[in-house]
Structure 1
């Protein structure tokens, strides 16, 4: 009888220890990537339950001959790998706009262009949740854009970024 009780306590103990790690209720920081021309993004994550969250990213670019912004919203499922390591994936969408000044010379002539666009996105990544309120992540986000797209004539973008966020 003692062995059965001891075995039951051990199984329950391992079961509670193996349960999924809860994610932080809020996290804010930067998502640093640049494959789509919008540079660093201000990133905010809001937990919706113990293992899913919503991420909002606002990126902007301001240069001598152009400026633009992009807002993305991603729904993420989060799975624990081990300890503070998690991996996550999810779908999303967003919109943006850019403007090119007529002083910009492209293909041998000066261009003055602007466009608004919408896009669908996916996101997959890995993160480490430290014991103090810091979250580091590395993710891959393919984006399929819809708009006039006169700027780069490419509707598919692959974005890889490093995220640094403060959790609260």
Structure 2
């Protein structure tokens, strides 16, 4: 009996560690980031494209409907250790309030994949601003994976 319990614990440990190295098919949540007008929340959605690649879509509303920002990112995800991953990739965005509404962006970040369906991450996303100079955008995310 004791041997069976040890085997069961071992198999569960393998299952959970193997799952931590995969990215989920979908994740939705909130990203809190700095913007042109200060801190602003974003609705964030991630969709798995391949084994270690995903598409991320973010929608930010800063002050009013005129300050709408939409960003699409293509990300590569690599496992660091256990439940930690890092990710990076290029992107493109659209700002409703800008003279040049389309801008280029990218992302680099680190995430922690809990054994529950929660995903916590911090990332850096440089964006071209209204003057086509780089704007630093640091964000924290909490997402639900399904």
Residue number in structure 2 paired with 1:51: 52
Deviations 1:69-117 (A, max 9, x none): 000000000000111100000000011112xxxxxxxxxxxxxxx6451
Residue number in structure 2 paired with 1:118: 102
Contact 1:119 1:143 in 2 (8 A): yes
Residue number in structure 1 paired with 2:141: 163
Bigger Cα Rg: 1
Higher strand share: 1
Deviations 1:111-163 (A, max 9, x none): xxx64511101100000000000000000000124xxx3xxx46321100001
The change in CA–CA distance for 1:83 and 1:156 in structure 2 (over 3 A counts) is same
Give me the TM-score of the superposition, normalised by structure 1. 0.70
Contact 1:32 1:161 in 2 (8 A): yes
Give me the TM-score of the superposition, normalised by structure 2. 0.80
Q: Secondary structure at the match of 1:39?
A: strand
1:25-44 alignment, distance < 5 Å: 25-37=25-37, 39-44=40-45
Residue number in structure 2 paired with 1:21: 21
Paired positions, count:
129
**1:81 partnered with 2:65:** no
Taking the aligned partners of 2:35 and 2:91, their CA distance within structure 1 comes to: 18
Give the superposed CA RMSD.
Answer: 2.3
Which portions of structure 1, spanning 4 or more consecutive aligned residues, are displaced by more than 4 angstroms? none
